[in-house]
Each structure stands twice: as C-alpha cells, then as structure tokens.
C-alpha cells in the first residue's frame, strides 16, 4: 500500500509539472502581462532590446526577451506555448521547419533583411576568384539554395532550369571556373575563410565575425528572406503582438538599424 501511495504521489507531481509546462505564458491569460519573445542574440536581440528600452513603454507593451543560440528551439517554444512569439527567421526557413517538424506557427510581419554576402580574405573582387577555387556555402536547404543563386547572380555558375530557392550543388548546370563548392554549417563559415578562396556567409554571422567588406551582396529587391515575427494561434490576434510588429517596423527602428549596422549586414525591410 505504501508503494502505491508513493507511486500515486509521484504521478500527481509529474502531472502537475507537465500541466505547468503546457499551460502557456502569463500573457495568454493576462492582457497586461509581458509578452515573451524568443530571439537570436545578434542582430535580433539587439534590435528588440532597443524596442524594449525606447518604444515599448510608450505603447503600453511589456517585453521579456529570451535568447537562443540555435534556429530550432525558438519555434518549438512558440509552438508549445512557452513563448508568445519569436523574431529571428525568414519565411522560407519557417516553411522548411513546419514541413519537417510541424507546429502551429503563424507569420505576423517582416522587419529586416540580412543579405547573404560573398566574403574573401584572399581576393578583392568576385572576378579575381581563380579557376578551381574552393568556395564554402551554408548547408541548410533554404540558405544553400540562396547562396547558389547569389553565385549565379555574380556569374560564377549557372543552375539548372527550375532550380530556385532550394537548389542543391547537384543542380549546377554550368561551372565555367570548375569551382569546388563545399557545404558547411552556416555558423562555421566565417572560420573557413583561411582555408577557402571565398565563402557565402549569412549577415548575422558576418556581423558576429566583424566582416564588413563583402565582395558582393544579394539583391534586396523582392527578396523573400526578410526576417520577421512569428507567433502561435493563441496570440496571433493579440494586440500586444501586433504592436510589437508595428514598433519593429517603425521609422525609428529603421533608423536604428541603418545607424547600428551600416547598411550592409542588416537592412530594414521596405
């Protein structure tokens, strides 16, 4: 009997713990509570910190930031309700995430673009990249295709007809300089510049590595890779989330982004 009582107590405690984990944030029950927003530290955390310190109080919105070092946990946290929103990703990544992992996630609005850039420690222009050069690009599907399209825009290769956002290395139809294309984790790419002739690097990782002189940047015109705010069904109509996006899209924040990042690694969405 004593064993049964202990077991029942343990089950009850576990049940309460699970209920607490799935109960959502205070914001979902209290319209005056702070909203919890997940971000990657740079630049998203810096931009949202600026909003929190300079705009949020006047709008009557309390913001609690939670910083993440990877690209999957912020979506999982929004989907399970432990976060109210996140700000760190673009639509193609969100589609890829939902296709692979599921989750009720809702795009709210775009804020800024982190253009991919071609960087090199060895050359001063794209034209200087020699025959047989090794180039490193991101290995995740959305950024890999994006990088290959940038190399195509710069005349370094040509992709097969119909290969678009999720192009792979095998989709290269013409490679006039016989370039060796290496695919690596996006976060590792700045560290490869000593070993390759050039690398295609995401804006946030270029920023973190203090890379500020790209040989080329992808075009911002009609660019689908704008980073924005994502939320869940419980919060998608909440006025605090809408105000969050309005603040992030404000002229004051656009001016901050231009001033802080110099118009290269981070660019306000139009």
Q: What pLDDT does 23 receive?
A: 58
Residues 159 and 204 in one domain: yes
pLDDT per residue as tens digits for the range 117-157? 999 999 999 999 999 999 999 998 878 999 999 999 999 99
Q: What is the mean pLDDT of the chain?
A: 90
Q: Looking at the structure, do residues 71 and 111 belong to the same domain, yes or no?
A: yes
User: Is 10 among the domain residues?
Assistant: no
Residue 180 has pLDDT above 50, yes or no: yes
DSSP-derived 3-state class of residue 53:
helix
Query: Cα–Cα distance between 181 and 136 in angstroms, integer?
Result: 6
Q: What is the mean pLDDT of residues 230-254?
A: 98
39-92 per-position pLDDT tens digit: 999 999 999 999 999 999 999 999 999 999 888 999 999 999 999 999 999 999
Shortest CA distance to 231 belongs to which of 23, 11, 54, 27? 27
**Do residues 211 and 230 both lie within one domain?**
no
CATH number of residue 121's parent domain: 3.40.190.10
Distance CA(134)–CA(83), nearest Å, equals 41
Asked whether residue 70 falls in the same domain as residue 204, the answer is: no
In a domain, 194, yes or no: yes
Higher pLDDT, 38 or 24: 38
Is there a domain that residue 24 lies in? no
Percentage with pLDDT > 70 across the chain: 91
- Tell whether 123 is covered by a domain: yes
In a shared domain, residues 136 and 204: yes
C-beta atoms surrounding 52 within 10 Å: 19
In whole angstroms, give the CA distance from residue 218 to residue 166: 16
pLDDT tens figures, 195-221: 999 999 998 889 889 998 999 999 878
**Does 85 share its domain with 131?**
no
pLDDT digits (tens, 9 = 90+) for 160-170: 998 877 899 99
22 in a structural domain: no
Average pLDDT over every residue of 250-254: 98
Backbone phi and psi for residue 82, each to the nearest 5 degrees, phi listed first? -80, -15
Give domain status of residue 235, yes or no.
Answer: yes
Residues 71 and 200 both lie in one domain: no
Is there a domain that residue 132 lies in? Answer: yes
Q: Are residues 85 and 60 in the same domain?
A: yes
The backbone torsions φ and ψ at residue 168, rounded to the nearest 5 degrees and listed phi first, read -115, 170
What is the total count of domains within the chain?
Answer: 2
Residues counted in the chain = 270
pLDDT at 268: 94
Structural domain that includes position 162: 117-217
Using 50, 70 and 90 to split pLDDT, how confident is the model at 15? very low
- The answer on 188 and 152 residing in a single domain is yes
Q: For residues 95 and 158, state if they share a domain.
A: no
| Residue 147 included in any domain | yes
Nearest to 183 by CA among 216, 142, 217: 142
Q: What is the pLDDT of residue 12?
A: 38
Q: Hey, CA dihedral for 34, 36, 37, 41, is it positive or negative?
A: positive
The region of weakest confidence among 19-28, 92-101, 168-177, 234-243 is 19-28
């Amino acid at each position: 009997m004593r064993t049964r009582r202990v077991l029942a107590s343990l089950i009850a405690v576990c049940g309460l713990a699970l209920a607490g984990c799935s109960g959502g944030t205070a914001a979902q029950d209290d319209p005056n509570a702070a909203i919890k927003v997940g971000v990657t530290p740079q630049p998203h955390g810096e931009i949202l910190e600026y909003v929190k310190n300079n705009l949020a109080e006047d709008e009557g919105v309390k913001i609690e930031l939670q910083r993440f070092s990877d690209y999957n946990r912020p979506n999982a946290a929004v989907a399970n309700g432990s976060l109210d929103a996140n700000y760190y990703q673009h639509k193609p990544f969100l589609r890829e995430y939902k296709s692979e992992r599921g989750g009720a996630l809702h795009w709210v609005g775009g804020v800024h673009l982190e253009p991919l850039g071609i960087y090199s420690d060895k050359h001063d222009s794209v034209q200087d990249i020699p025959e047989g050069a090794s180039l490193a690009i991101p290995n995740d599907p959305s950024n890999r295709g994006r990088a290959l399209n940038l190399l195509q825009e710069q005349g370094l290769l040509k992709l097969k007809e119909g290969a678009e956002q999720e192009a792979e290395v095998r989709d290269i139809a013409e490679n006039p300089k016989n370039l060796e294309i290496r695919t690596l984790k996006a976060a590792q790419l700045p560290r490869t510049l000593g070993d390759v002739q050039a690398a295609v690097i995401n804006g946030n990782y270029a920023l973190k590595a203090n890379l500020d002189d790209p040989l080329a940047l992808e075009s911002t015109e009609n660019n689908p890779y704008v980073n924005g705010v994502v939320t869940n069904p419980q919060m998608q109509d909440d006025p605090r989330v809408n105000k969050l996006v309005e603040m992030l899209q404000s002229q004051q924040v656009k001016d901050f982004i231009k001033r802080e990042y110099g118009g290269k690694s981070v660019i306000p969405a139009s």
